[in-house]
Structures are given as structure tokens and as C-alpha cells.
Structure 1
Amino acid sequence: MYKVLLLSISMVFILSAQQFEAYFDEASQRYQIPVNILKAVAFSETRGVHIINDEESHQSCIGIPHVYGIMGLRNDHWFGKSVDKASEITGFTPDQITSDERLNILAAAALLDFYAAERRINRNNIHNWKEVIESYSGIKQDAVKPLYSYEIFRVMKEGYISENLSIPVNQEIDLGIFPEYVKPGIDPVYIESEDYGPAVWDPSPNYTNGNISHQFSVVHTTQGGFAGSVSWLKNPAANASTHYIIRSSDGYIVQLVREQNRAWHVVCWNGYSLGVEHEGFVDNPAWYTDEMYIASANLFNHFSVRYNIPFNFNRIIGHNQWQNNAWRIWMQSNYPGIDPTCNTHTDPGIYWDWPFYMQLVSKDTTSPVITGYSPSVTGDSIWANQSIKITFSQRMKKSAAQSAFSITPQVSGVFSWENSGRTLVFKPTGLYQLGQLYQVSFDTSAVNYNNRKLLSGIEFSFVTRSTAPLNVLNTYPAVNQQGISNTVKLKVEFDTPLLTSSITGNIGLFNFSGEPVQIKNVVYSEVDGRGTVTFSPQSSLKFSSDYSIQVSSEIKNILGTSLGTSQNVQFRTADSIYVAGTLIDNFELIKNWKDPNFSGSTIGTDPNATTFTISNEEKYAGSASGKINYVFTGAGGVCRTFNADKPSIGSNSAETFGLWIYGDLSYNYLEYWFYYNASSNVIVKADTLNWTGWKWVEVPVSSITGSGDKLFHSIVIKQSPTGATSGAVYVDNAIRRNPALTDAEEHSLSSVPAEYILHQNFPNPFNPETIIRFSLSENTVVELSVYDILGKKVATLADNVYYDKGNYSLRFSISDHGLSSGIYFYRLKTDRFTAYKKMTIIK
């Protein structure tokens, strides 16, 4: 019975892992669109990443209008109102289409269905979809449309695999239906660029004739797809341009402005700079392909040779170079007539690999060397599933490096790359033989991207373990731990790696009655030879209730050793808390929150992995939350996420300020930073991150020293001596409140209302006071006001105050408002609900 119940739970995890596939299948079947067309559109527009509906984030230096969701829908005057059109067809609201992945895919499929029906195409012939896809793009210029559809057909022909997308190879697709000028490696007859041979000439009207001094070459990122960016840059109303633009997938180049003319790309630097846009989004490194790097580096080498631009970081720069203080100082000394701070954009961002790029641009002849490898220990100490890693001083050509690798006895496995292409990883597809000596060899046939051979190879050996016991090291929650979040992420850590096939059916969550609780997001990971399983409840747990994690004795490690004794870890969830107050930030939009690398207070972190984004992965309320990813590189690290808006939280010492925090069990410190007197900083320790799930974390306003209004400006994660070196914390709903004035009734989870209700006041009639009760079925902002019989507002009990879902009661006293006898009306208003009730005052 125990194992059968647990098996049914594990199926929830399997379905969750395949959710994106299910979304595409559903849309394909509902609207009769080939499923791989839908996936290829998602690849072309966003590389399968759901871009949150946020007008503040993803801003482009060329001003290209924003795209929405995984399918890159639009709502602008250049590409059209595809969000509104899809809303009209499907009945989904624009907000639903732009924020929900499933509805975004369905909306895109509905649009493709509309265009296919309009053209009455034979849907069974994949090539008939070309013009339908071009209509979907919203691109106006006939010559640019094939650039869009070509990329979609190309990826369907060649295939693509990522975390969210799996597009199979389809050799039946004929790319011959496309004009030659859209393809890489085109015949020279189609190349009209007089400046740079490999580029296709397609002029933009946006430039200033002549009068350019070629002092700098600038790397940009489009914040959009290739074809759409070309279309936009040819739009006179865009008021933007670039000399060249490069496609991500194959390095195909279009020239839009002659090198002798000024392109409009870097404000006051235009008269001194050549600009190149690179297709993609700065927060997704998948766009920065080897093909793009190589094509771009060859172009920038051409700039340097032709215009004598030195191969250094002062003259070959990113659009974000204004953030580099050393460069600003250098500019003031060498180019005092140019303002180094007239730009504000941050492309190409933290994922652009500058050392690799400059190596390519300068045609560096330095040979690569091996700088490390693992396993590097002797004796019977290697687990039977351990990866082999070899690290190099430079990026290596993947195919050549993988061919240089061998292992004896022979083992089947797969290759992957880490460390920006500098670490080769070999992972066995099965298990090594137990107690076996293995010999690894790596020869000098491996080369870097400048075709320089490895200086010397390496040979090393290791012996796999033959036996090891299996024990549970620790769990979260711990045995009998109290006050656990009802959205907890549960964790079971073992002292050896697990046999992954034994996990299914052997770990589960149960309520106090012994009934199984459905779970989701089951993840197995290994660190330093220890296996860890994490998972979350499918729905929020009940408050103030007992639960248990159960681990079966049948779970095994990779050597086949069973746990031996079943484990039962009981814990109790926290009491309910209802938070009402003034909503400072709901984290639906990124607004003026900055990446941690923006702040000089952020130290000891990996800039590529330490980020702040708006995410829909975990959310306390609404459709999104803020997500802080951090990686500390040593001791004493600080990750500061700064809000340039610096909202005021007032100075009332009776109030508190807090946020809903989804902890990561890192045991690092959480701090809130404030200003007083506009710029004097105060650091307040809010908590230690020793939990998972959502938790309300507040600090008294009285704990913020200094006079006058306090300005909340930063959320800080500070590395503790025993804290984890990496983690991810979610933040939601920053609220200022007075706990003494929050008069919420006590509730269990089952009492949370299913609908909005404004109850009749009691007593009624009344004098001198009455109680007004209301029920909220979701977290929302509330206005509760009183009106006289003529409709004049005479009292406000809640003026746009944020409340969690729940049941509330507020006291209303006539003495506070000087009201006379008579009939009055009170109104409850939220963004989804409005209701009135009548009450009578008697004297």
C-alpha cells in the first residue's frame, strides 16, 4: 500500500516535467497547427523562454517594441496588435495572454489558425505555412519577411533541443523555397556590401551622411529577433540604426549603414563609433552562439585593420562600457570632448564572453593548456556515476576536444560543456563497473577557435568504489520542527549518490491522517558525493497542521545498497498570518530594480550567475515575483539588489515594513537597507535564510535609525560564515503596515473564502460604533468608504490598502467623523469587485 501510494505521487512530477510539451500539443490539436511550427516560432522569438509582461524590462537600445511571452506576441504600431487580435479570437484577456505560458501558446496558435484559414492553405503541406508564419511576424517589408520564416523552417529542418523545447530533425523540409539572400554562405552575386564582403547590403534610412571618426567599435544586443530587428531598423520612425546586425544561429550579417556614415546607436558616441547589433536578449546566454562570436569577431577585426582601432577594451567596447569607472577616467584623459556617460543601456550584458571574443578579434596565437581535471584522487574512492571534467585555459572547439578524449575500459557517455566552453564534462550514461581501474587520456589534437593546438595532453586514472552504506544525513524540515511554511520546499539529503531509478515510489509526503499529499518539482542533485532530493507540495499545505516526509527502506544508492530502515520525519506548519497595509511594490514589473552587479556594494559574487529578474516560477500573489540568484566566489560575499525608485515607507514608529520572502535554506543573512535624510544609509538585519517556502519577514520602522521619512532601497543577501555559496531567493509584496490596526479574524486554511463578500454591518442600526466585515477570495488592494444619502463620501476606512485573502472586520465609529443620525451607505471596492450596503445611525 505504501509503495503504490508513493508511485501515484511521483507521476505528478513526471507530468510537471513535461508541461511545456503538453502546452504545445494542446495548442496544436485545438487549432490544427503542426506542433513543430509552434515550437520553432518559440525558438525564433525567445529561444523558448517565457518573457514576462513587463514594460520596464528587456528595453532595447534600438527601441524595438517589446515582445510578450514565449511566443513573442506584439502590441505596438509597427508590428501590429497581435495580443489584442489573439484576445479577440480566444476570449482570453491581454493580461492572461502575456503572463500565462499556456495561454500565450494557445493565443499564438489561434493567430496562426486565423491566418491559415484566411489563405485557405492545405495544412498538410508544411511548406504552405511560409506565408502564414510571415503574417504572424507582423513584419511590413516584403524583402524582410523571408528572413523571419527562413529561421523557423531552418530550425525545423536541423532540429533543436533545450530545457523547454525539443524539435526533431526533419530532412523533408526544403529550404530551396527561400530566396538565396536570406541564407548563410550565399553566392557572392547576392552580396552588395562595398565595405565588408560577407555582409548583405540592406540599407536603413536612419543615418547621418559622412562626418565619422572611427575611434571605437561597439557591441550591442538587439533585445529581439533578427528579422524583426532588421525590419525595425529600416523603419524611419525608429530613429535608430546600426552599421551591421548579426544573426545568432549562423552568423549571417546584414549591413544597414555604410561605414563612412554615422549610424544612430550610441547617442553622443555616434560620431566616433561603428556599431554592430547581435540578435538576442542580454539575460539569456543561449543567443550568444559560437557562430555569432566568430562572425562578429571577424567583422571587428576588419574594423581594427581598416581603421587602426587597437585590440583593447578601451576601443573595442560594449554599449555598457559607461558603467566601467576605469574606462570613464581613461576617456576623460584621452577624449575629453566626449561624454562617457551619455549612454544608459547595459547590453551586451553579463553573459557576453569578452576574453573569448577579444581572443578571436585579435587572432591571438596563444595555445591553450589544460589547467585542471577530475577525478584527481587515487584509491577506491570514485562513485560509479561520477562525471569526468577537464578544464582548459581557453574556449575549445567542441567537436575536436570531444574527439581527443578517450577512456579505458570503454564507457558510453555524453559530453557537455561548462565554464563558458572551457570545461569539458563526460557523464557516463550508465554506471562504471564497481571496483574497476579506469584510464583517461586526452591528446593534443584538440584546438581552440583560432585553430591553435593544445600544448600538451594528459593521462590520469581512477578506481571506482565497490561498496558503501546508505544513510539519511539530514532533512528539511527536521524531525518535529515547528512553524514550517505552508509552501515549503522539502529536502532529504543522503550520504551517498542515489540510484535514480529507486527514487520513484520511495519518497513521499503525508498528512496527519496518513493520506498521501500530491507533490511537484521533484529534483535530484549531487554535490560532493551526496545525493539530495527536493520537492514541493502540489498545493499549499494547511496552516497549523501536522505532516510527515516518509522515506522507504527500499531506496538505494548507486552501489545497490538499500537504506534498510524506513524514515518518518514529522513536522508542523506555521499558524496563518494575514497581512494588511500599504502595498509598496508587488514585483509584477521590474520597474527600477537593478541587477546586483549594478551596485558597488555587491562584492565576492560571480557576475554571470548573480542576477535579479521578474519570475513566474514562485509567487506569493499576482502573476510574478522578484527572483535573486546569487553565487558567492569566496568568503564575505554581498549580493545587493538596489531599487533606484527608493520608495518612502514613512516614519511612523508604530508601523512595520516587510516582504514575503521565499527562502532557500542557505543560512545566509537577509538584510533590508534604507536611507534617511535622502542618502544616509541604515542596514537592518531582517532574518537568517534558514527556511524554504513563503514567509512574512518584517522589521519595525523604529529599528531604522535616523530622522525623517525612511526610504527603502535594497534587498541584500550577505554571506554568513556557515552559509551556502549559492542560492535563489524570491521576494514579493513589500508592505508597510501597523500590526495593531490589522483586525483580522483567526482562520484555518479551510475558512479562506471562495468569493468576495461585503457583509451587513453589526449592530445595525448603531450608535456610536459598528463592525463592518468583508471577505476576500484573493490578495488584493481594498478601498472601503462611507457615503451619505446624497452620495458624498464622509469617511474612508481603507484607502487602497493591501490585504491578503481572508476574512476581515473593521470598526467604524461615528465620533471619529462627526456624523449625525440618518441612512448611510458603505462601499467595498477592489479591481475585480464592488459592493454597497446600507446602514443606519441613530442617536
Structure 2
Amino acid sequence: MHRRLTLAGAAAVVGCSALIASGLANADTDDASAPDSLKGAFADAASTYDVPRDVLASLAYTESRFVQHDGPSQDNGYGLMHLESNADNHNLERASRLTDHSVDELQSDATANIDGAAAVLRKLADRSGLDGSDRSDLAQWYVPLAKYARGQTKYGAKLEADAVFDNVRNGFTHRADGERLSVAAHDVRPERGAYAGLRTAADGVQTQSDDYPAALWVPASSSNYSAGRSSAISAVVIHVTQGSYAGTISWFQNPEAQVSAHYVVRSSDGEITQMVREADTAWHARDGNSYAVGIEHEGYVDDPAWFTDVMYRSSAALTANIADDNGIPKDREHIVGHSEVPGNDHTDPGANWDWDLYMSYVTGGEEPDPEEGVPFTTWGSGVNVRADATTQSDVVGSLSGPTNVRVLCQKEGENVSSGGYSGAWWSKLKDQGGFIANIFVDHPDNKLPNVPLC
């Protein structure tokens, strides 16, 4: 099995000279000493501020999957460490004061962003009373992480810290900008301090939604929506959060946000949180607010890795339920993207959202047409498409970078290795007319799920 890979700026790392010679993919580096290395940036920041490297990396993975996105998130957070600048969280400005980085540099440069976040976390650790021995104990970093989130409510801050510690405990391997970044699984029980008494779904305690019992109920601030509706529900609007699941929930609880959606869906497992009753008017789509139910999906429009199959399926079941309850036709005239609602200037859910797959789930959960293939995304640059499942077969095409593909079928072929990953399964691509090794498909399993054998 190989682990999930990231998409942004990824380039294939070929592990042996034979594969380089065969032209399986272009080579890159995982060297932490290379210029602008993310590994090096995390190591340097951890050393400078005495913050555990795995805490920093897990925070970045939770917030951005290590992608330094252009522009701010929904709650005005910047960079792969999500340095916020809003009415209740001034981590961006605080990072600038604590380092020699300007605000502009912290917003745009990944290395500066990591350095700034480490400086803020160290300051929060000092204020939480962590001494030298405490700082070496991963469990002690829960409270500084919750304070880093600085949600309007403790619930939002705890949700964010829980998400980071889930990644600390479970570990992960991810590829970003040609580097493989890993955190080993840690057997750690976080010291939650003042947050210990606050119960969330992660603690096995939850309040279910009345509108959709499969969802959790966490109310948005009453300052962020209107009671009642002026029109009957006749549409569902699909959004992308431009941020994390926990951060979005926290933001909708902030009375300064002046924005909300009815539901938020998590990428990793499809968990749904309802924040506004369907009978009330969430503020999510301007002219569409009065007649639409809004569903936010964790992720970023420019990174399809967030749009997991489990999230598609979970959201589609919710949308189908809303449609059935309100007599809404299950078609693209009534189930629309934020960008398609009149009076809006947003672009979500964007070109990476797979409408065909999503609507196939909404209209009955049936699988997509086998002749159309199953959608996946590749990673790496210069990945050769071959006539058969071997590096000895003819090259029939090439994927210049991360690509959305349709996989018709898969079969076992030559065992290949790249960047520490290996496997013998190959996928036949519909549009490219040939095979690529499944190690270049962005999925944790080498044998892909829901894909027939060739």
C-alpha cells in the first residue's frame, strides 16, 4: 500500500536509475537541504522556536495539505499554516511582530509562513506556562494549538486542536512540491486543560440535527443568518469552504463573520455538521439565500485532493434528502454551484468539482457509467502513459502535471517504484488511451476501489 499524495506542485521522484532511464517519470528531490525545502523550513522553525516539528507539520496538513494557496481563506487565513487576520484572531500580525517577516511575506512565502506560525505557537506555549521539558512533550501542545485557532467559541478551538492531534496520533505521509512529508504515528493523549470539559463529536457525545439526523447540530451565531424564509426552498447550492472543516464551523459561530451555510461536510470521512435550520435563511449565496439550502465542503477549489469520494457520497445523500423533502428536481438547474447563483462573484466549487460523479450519487447513488470511467487525480510531472502495464511498452502520451483522469479499468503489471512508493497495479485511462502505474494515482491503495479489472 502507498499513502495518499498531495497535488499542488507535485513532481515524481523516481527511486532507481532503471526507472529514470525507462522514462516512467521525471526525477525530483526529497532533500531537506534543497533550496526552499518544506522539510527544511519545518526543521528550522522547530529548532528556532523549540516547537515540535510534528506539531508544526500536523497543523499544516490539517489546514492546507501543505499548499500555500493564493489569497485568504473564508475566515481570512493565509498560507499553509493558516495565519488568520480577522476581528478575533490576529495571528498574522502577531507573527510579523515576533519575526522579521513582513505581513506580505508571511502571506505569500511558505517558509516565512511556517516560521511565523512557529513563533506564534511558541508565544502561546509560553503564555500557557510550558517550560523546556513541557515543550518536548507533544501532549502539552494541545492548549497552544487551541489558542492558535482562537475561535469565537471554545467549541471551534477544540475542534481544530482535535483535528491536529488526530493527525499527530494517526500519522500521515503526503507529497507537496516534490517532497514527501511524513509524521509518524504517536501514541499520545493530549492534555486538554480548560478544554477537557467541552464535549464534541470526537468525544462520542453529539447533538443530532432535527432536519437531517445523520448530521451533527452546532448552531451558527444568530448574527450570521435570518430567522425564517421569504421563499420556499427550491434549490441546493454547493460551496467549497476555502479552509478547514473546523475553521469553517468556528467562523460561522463568530458573530463578526456575517456569513453562514446550513451544512458543512468534512473531507476525510464525510461527517456533516448542520449550523442553520433549513427553515431559516443562511447567508451564503446573496440573491439565492431566500430559496436555497447551502452546503459547504471542506477544501480549496484549486486542490482536488480535498474532494474525496466519501465526501461526495455523504453530501449527495444530504442533497437527495433535501430534494425529496422539498420536492426539488434532482437536476443541475436546481442543484447548482455557488458561482452559478445570480448576483455572486465567487468561483466555487470550481473546475475540480466532479459534477457528473456527484449528480450520479444524488440521483440514486448509482455508480457512474463504466464507459466513462472512475474519476481520480494523478500526481507528478512527466508521467508517461504507456500502451500496456509495463515500462517496456510504447509511450502513447504524457501527463505534464497533476491531472484529473478517468480510469476505465486496472490490471497487475510490472512492479514499479517512485519516491518511496511501489506497486504492480496499473490503470487504463479513458482520455489518454493508455496505462499509468497506480503509484501515480492520488489514492492510498495501490489497487484502486470501485475500478473493474481490465
Question: What's the TM-score once normalised by structure 1's chain length?
Answer: 0.41
* 1:131 lines up with 2:143 in the alignment: yes
Give the Cα–Cα distance (whole angstroms) in 2 for the partners of residues 213 and 418 of structure 1: 46
For residue 355 of structure 2, what is the aligned residue in structure 1? 354
Contact 1:191 1:197 in 2 (8 A): no
Measure how far apart 1:194 and its partner are: 0.7
Structure with bigger strand share is 1
> Is the deviation greater in 163-172 or in 35-44?
163-172
Contact 2:413 2:424 in 1 (8 A): no
* 1:47 lines up with 2:85 in the alignment: no
* 1:293 lines up with 2:308 in the alignment: no
For residue 78 of structure 1, what is the aligned residue in structure 2? 88
Contact 1:51 1:70 in 2 (8 A): yes
Choose the corresponding residue for 2:79, options 28, 48, 69. 69
For residue 96 of structure 2, what is the aligned residue in structure 1? 87
For residue 412 of structure 2, what is the aligned residue in structure 1? 406
Choose the corresponding residue for 1:157, options 146, 159, 169. 169
* 1:172 lines up with 2:187 in the alignment: yes
SS in 2 for 1:317: strand
Q: Deviations over 1:728-786 (max 9, x none)?
A: xxxxxxxxxxxxxxxxxxxxxxxxxxxxxxxxxxxxxxxxxxxxxxxxxxxxxxxxxxx
Give the Cα–Cα distance (whole angstroms) in 2 for the partners of residues 120 and 166 of structure 1: 30
Q: Deviations over 1:30-60 (max 9, x none)?
A: 11111011111112222211234xxxx45x6
* 1:196 lines up with 2:212 in the alignment: yes
* 1:308 lines up with 2:347 in the alignment: no
Contact 1:38 1:109 in 2 (8 A): yes
The residue type equivalent to 2:304 in the other structure is: P
Give the Cα–Cα distance (whole angstroms) in 2 for the partners of residues 108 and 408 of structure 1: 44
For residue 36 of structure 1, what is the aligned residue in structure 2? 54
1:195/1:13 CA distance change after superposition, 3 Å: closer
Measure how far apart 1:180 and its partner are: 5.8
Contact 1:245 1:277 in 2 (8 A): yes
The residue type equivalent to 2:82 in the other structure is: G
SS in 2 for 1:220: strand
Q: Deviations over 1:408-428 (max 9, x none)?
A: 899962668797999974268
Contact 2:142 2:191 in 1 (8 A): no
* 1:317 lines up with 2:323 in the alignment: no
The residue type equivalent to 1:382 in the other structure is: S
* 1:118 lines up with 2:136 in the alignment: no
> Is the deviation greater in 281-290 or in 217-226?
281-290
1:367/1:37 CA distance change after superposition, 3 Å: closer
* 1:144 lines up with 2:163 in the alignment: no
Gaps of 5+ in 2: 1-26, 374-384, 399-403, 441-446
Contact 1:221 1:348 in 2 (8 A): yes
The residue type equivalent to 1:131 in the other structure is: V
1:395/1:195 CA distance change after superposition, 3 Å: farther
Number of matched residues? 386
1:428/1:154 CA distance change after superposition, 3 Å: closer
Q: Deviations over 1:379-433 (max 9, x none)?
A: x97269x99xxxx99779xxxx87xx3348999626687979999742689xxxx
Measure how far apart 1:125 and its partner are: 2.1
1:447/1:68 CA distance change after superposition, 3 Å: closer
SS in 1 for 2:184: coil
SS in 2 for 1:219: strand
1:427/1:75 CA distance change after superposition, 3 Å: closer
* 1:284 lines up with 2:285 in the alignment: no
SS in 1 for 2:34: helix
Contact 2:200 2:206 in 1 (8 A): yes
Contact 2:262 2:277 in 1 (8 A): yes
Give the Cα–Cα distance (whole angstroms) in 1 for the partners of residues 116 and 154 of structure 2: 25
For residue 343 of structure 2, what is the aligned residue in structure 1? 342
1:371/1:196 CA distance change after superposition, 3 Å: closer
Question: What's the TM-score once normalised by structure 2's chain length?
Answer: 0.74
Give the Cα–Cα distance (whole angstroms) in 2 for the partners of residues 250 and 377 of structure 1: 34
For residue 281 of structure 2, what is the aligned residue in structure 1? 262
Measure how far apart 1:193 and its partner are: 1.0
Contact 1:370 1:393 in 2 (8 A): no
Give the Cα–Cα distance (whole angstroms) in 2 for the partners of residues 350 and 260 of structure 1: 31
Contact 2:152 2:251 in 1 (8 A): no
SS in 2 for 1:358: helix
1:272/1:11 CA distance change after superposition, 3 Å: closer
Measure how far apart 1:129 and its partner are: 0.6
Contact 1:220 1:278 in 2 (8 A): yes
Contact 1:137 1:148 in 2 (8 A): yes
Alignment of 1:558-707 (within 5 A): none
SS in 1 for 2:239: strand
Contact 1:27 1:105 in 2 (8 A): yes
Q: Deviations over 1:448-490 (max 9, x none)?
A: 4xxxx85xx53xxxxxxxxxxxxxxxxxxxxxxxxxxxxxxxx
The residue type equivalent to 1:194 in the other structure is: D
Contact 2:412 2:426 in 1 (8 A): no
1:360/1:407 CA distance change after superposition, 3 Å: same
For residue 378 of structure 2, what is the aligned residue in structure 1? none
Give the Cα–Cα distance (whole angstroms) in 2 for the partners of residues 134 and 347 of structure 1: 29
Alignment of 1:4-19 (within 5 A): 14=31, 15-16=33-34, 19=37
Give the Cα–Cα distance (whole angstroms) in 2 for the partners of residues 313 and 11 of structure 1: 42
Contact 1:353 1:420 in 2 (8 A): no
Measure how far apart 1:286 and its partner are: 2.3
Give the Cα–Cα distance (whole angstroms) in 2 for the partners of residues 377 and 295 of structure 1: 35
CA RMSD, 1 decimal: 3.9
1:116/1:420 CA distance change after superposition, 3 Å: farther
Measure how far apart 1:253 and its partner are: 1.5
Measure how far apart 1:157 and its partner are: 2.3
Choose the corresponding residue for 2:105, options 96, 105, 128. 96
The residue type equivalent to 1:72 in the other structure is: H
1:207/1:290 CA distance change after superposition, 3 Å: same
For residue 25 of structure 1, what is the aligned residue in structure 2? 43
Measure how far apart 1:89 and its partner are: 1.9
The residue type equivalent to 2:329 in the other structure is: P
Measure how far apart 1:366 and its partner are: 5.4
Gaps of 5+ in 1: 1-9, 323-340, 430-444, 459-843
Q: Deviations over 1:4-39 (max 9, x none)?
A: xxxxxx999954377110111001111111101111
Give the Cα–Cα distance (whole angstroms) in 2 for the partners of residues 294 and 103 of structure 1: 38
Contact 2:45 2:115 in 1 (8 A): yes
Give the Cα–Cα distance (whole angstroms) in 1 for the partners of residues 165 and 68 of structure 2: 21
* 1:274 lines up with 2:286 in the alignment: no
Give the Cα–Cα distance (whole angstroms) in 2 for the partners of residues 68 and 92 of structure 1: 14
Q: Deviations over 1:665-709 (max 9, x none)?
A: xxxxxxxxxxxxxxxxxxxxxxxxxxxxxxxxxxxxxxxxxxxxx
Measure how far apart 1:174 and its partner are: 3.8
Contact 1:283 1:349 in 2 (8 A): yes
The residue type equivalent to 1:192 in the other structure is: Q
Give the Cα–Cα distance (whole angstroms) in 1 for the partners of residues 43 and 430 of structure 2: 33
The residue type equivalent to 1:355 in the other structure is: D
